[in-house]
Amino acid sequence: MSEGSRKPKAMDHAVMDHRLERLIFFSDAVFAIAITLLVIEIHVPHLTGNVAEALQALTALEPSFFGFALSFVVIGRFWMGHHSAMASVASYSPKLLWPNLQLLMAIAFIPFATAFMSANIGQLVPTAFYNAVLMVSALLSLRVVTMARTLWPVAERHGDWLLMGSRGIGVALGAASALALTFYSPIISQLALVTIPLWQRLAARILHARRSADDA
């Protein structure tokens, strides 16, 4: 088949897909860089060779290790959500660009929020700041996932949405709980993140009920 006989429509389609791929690629890169940059906020102690001193230095780094692990899982989760929501997008839309950039800005900001919290562990303002950044990221992520869903093929919108939408809502509510709990006790507030699966189940039940109502 000659170059000239290629239909313009098919070409547009290819260009579209390529734009979507670049958008996904750029997002993946930002997620990957942010998640890997977490480590450079952990400062290396210089020791004299004494074992007790070395163990003490490692103990003093525990908040940094905790912050690294927590934010690694958090960014990893956001990436997985992005990954799932974008995988089903059937066609590129420039509408995605701006909300996606806002989400990436929040994600790229997490290494700072993490280091701020870890350096001042258990303090009210840094912990509330971290939990607030988490909640904003969750809301921006939920918006991107919701917008991506409008670009899914119609047939797939119900099944996966139940899972993905409830996941996004769960993370946002879990982060909001952690933020609220900060004002009661900063040190235990991040434990509220373990309530995420409960919120997810609740959200899934409500989304399911609404869908059944829509179908009826």
Examine residue 40 and tell whether it contacts a second copy (CB under 8 A): yes
Return the residues of window 154-193 that contact a second copy according to CB under 8 A: 155
Question: For a second copy, which stretch binds (CB under 8 A), given 119-127, 141-149, 187-195, 203-211?
Answer: 119-127
Cβ 36 vs Cβ 110: under 8 Å = no
Examine residue 66 and tell whether it contacts a second copy (CB under 8 A): no
Cβ 142 vs Cβ 77: under 8 Å = no
Cβ 208 vs Cβ 162: under 8 Å = yes
Amino acid at 190: Q
Query: For a second copy, what does the binding mask look like between residues 71 and 100, x meaning CB under 8 A?
Result: -xx--x--xx--xx-xxx--------x---
- Rounded to the nearest 5 percent, the helix, strand and coil shares of the chain are 85, 0, 15
Question: For a second copy, which stretch binds (CB under 8 A), given 110-118, 167-175, 187-195, 198-206?
Answer: 110-118
CB neighbour list of residue 72: distance below 8 Å, 6 or more residues apart: 35, 38
Return the residues of window 121-140 that contact a second copy according to CB under 8 A: 122-126, 129
Examine residue 23 and tell whether it contacts a second copy (CB under 8 A): yes
Examine residue 119 and tell whether it contacts a second copy (CB under 8 A): yes
Examine residue 15 and tell whether it contacts a second copy (CB under 8 A): yes
Reduced 3-state DSSP string for 81-135: HHHHHHHCCCCCCHHHHHHHHHHHHHHHHHHHHHHHHHHCCCCHHHHHHHHHHHH
Q: Which of 54, 188, 198, 206 lies at the binding interface for a second copy (CB under 8 A)?
A: 54
Closer of 15 and 209 to a second copy (Cβ):
15
Q: Output the CA torsion 151→154→160→166 (10° steps).
A: 70
Report the interface residues with a second copy, using CB under 8 A: 8, 11, 15, 18-19, 22-26, 28-42, 44-47, 49, 51, 54-55, 58, 68-69, 72-73, 76, 79-80, 83-84, 86-88, 97, 101, 104-105, 108-109, 111-112, 115-116, 119-120, 122-126, 129, 153, 155
